[in-house]
Structure 1
Amino acid sequence: MAHPHEKHDTIDVWSVEGRFQHLVYSPKGGVEGVLIDTDGVATQFVFERHDEGAASAFAGLQVGQALVIEGTEEGPSPKGEATHTVYRFERLASVDGEPPRHAGADERIDGTVVRLNYARHGEANGVVLDTGDFVHTRPDGFARLGLKVGDKVRAEGHAQPLATGEGRVVEAARVNGRPVHDAEAA
């Protein structure tokens, strides 16, 4: 069996194999993450705030189902030391060896940039197009691409509906034919 934590060639993204344990709830009753068992060790994945799409990927799972989840390792919290490894959720790669049933597909999205989008810490992490679609590049990809309002964009990558139901979000692998992240550019 492969080691349950396998680093990808992309920047800091890890594939973690484990068994579904339960959802993790926020103080207001929302779903803010998931806990899995990786060979007897608890591993937590936290979702972006207000990301109902991430939580819906885990709807209907049963305790013990085999999962592969991709995420980036979280740094230390100013609130105290974690009792287990914590990752920021990127995507659910498989359930019981199969693609997840609600997974988005790779798509191409075309449009004109109408505004920038910002991560929780305030750094630009993508653009919103005149079509209502959100192209997520992460801050490093945004800096590399140099996008600005008025630019024409053709983004390719994993897409799914926005939580609002209006438009899609694409986790961009390529924008205007250029790789978004270093590992793909190498």
Structure 2
Amino acid sequence: MPHHHPAEHNDIWSVEGRFQHLLYSPKGGIEGLLIDTEGIATQFVVDPHDCASVALLLSLRRDQALVVEGRETRPSPKGDGEHVVYHFERLAAVDGRATQAAARPTQVRGKVVRLNFARHGAANGVVLDSGDFVHLRPQGMERLQLKPGDQVLAQGPASPLATDGGWAIEAHRVNGELL
């Protein structure tokens, strides 16, 4: 019997198993992962725009013991699949060690090398010469008026970037100013 347990949050299931492999999109991106739960395949699909989750999945090794939390998907109009499918919520444990439910708090500093823009075109943060991305939202950018060359000290929860080994900081304080 697979280890599927209701998690603390309504509609979220906690599934124990061993990492098998990543699942790819037709264009080569990461769509999710497959785990083995006592001989039964369980699939988790991830939002391809969730860079922190994709980066985390890229760090997994075959047969690592995992606890993955997810929400059951609705039946597909394309028919039944070969196994149960969940929408990935978070990786709750790896190799028996709990992972943090939220991003870890951190502090980064560096010089602004470029602005970052939201999907709708408004500046929403800065990229530092350290390789870190400081997310400020458009309101924070308007308020702080940061530009290339400015020095930044940012504090807030951080998640790994999908590229370059830097961090994505959800800034709560920048240069001493509370956002």
Cα deviation, residue 43, structure 1: 0.3
CA contact (8 A) 1:72 1:87 kept: yes
Q: Do residues 94 (structure 1) and 93 (structure 2) align?
A: yes
Question: In the alignment, which residue of structure 2 is the partner of 1:18?
Answer: 17
Amino acid of the structure 2 residue aligned with 1:96: D
**Number of matched residues?**
130
SS of alignment partner, residue 91 of structure 2: strand
Amino acid of the structure 2 residue aligned with 1:94: A
Cα 1:169/1:13, change in 2 over 3 Å: farther
Deviations, residues 95-118 of structure 1 (Å, cap 9, x unaligned) = 1101359x72379xxxxxxxxx9x
Structure 2 counterparts to residues 128-139 of structure 1, below 5 A: 132=135
Percent of aligned pairs sharing the same letter: 50
CA contact (8 A) 2:158 2:167 kept: no
Cα 1:67/1:29, change in 2 over 3 Å: same
- Whole-angstrom distance in 1 between the partners of 2:65 and 2:13: 16
More displaced stretch, 54-63 vs 79-88: 54-63
- Whole-angstrom distance in 2 between the partners of 1:167 and 1:60: 17
Structure 1 segments unaligned to the other structure (5+ residues): 108-116, 118-127, 135-148, 150-157, 171-186
Deviations, residues 131-161 of structure 1 (Å, cap 9, x unaligned) = 8457xxxxxxxxxxxxxx9xxxxxxxx8636
- Whole-angstrom distance in 2 between the partners of 1:14 and 1:106: 26
Q: TM-score, normalised by structure 1?
A: 0.56
Question: In the alignment, which residue of structure 1 is the partner of 2:83?
Answer: 84
Structure number with bigger Rg: 2
Question: In the alignment, which residue of structure 2 is the partner of 1:39?
Answer: 38
Cα 1:161/1:62, change in 2 over 3 Å: closer
Structure 2 counterparts to residues 112-127 of structure 1, below 5 A: none
Cα deviation, residue 36, structure 1: 0.2
- Whole-angstrom distance in 1 between the partners of 2:97 and 2:167: 28
Cα deviation, residue 67, structure 1: 0.3
Structure 2 segments unaligned to the other structure (5+ residues): 107-118, 126-133, 140-156, 172-179
Amino acid of the structure 2 residue aligned with 1:97: G
- Whole-angstrom distance in 2 between the partners of 1:166 and 1:56: 11
Cα deviation, residue 33, structure 1: 0.1
- Whole-angstrom distance in 2 between the partners of 1:65 and 1:161: 20
Amino acid of the structure 2 residue aligned with 1:4: H
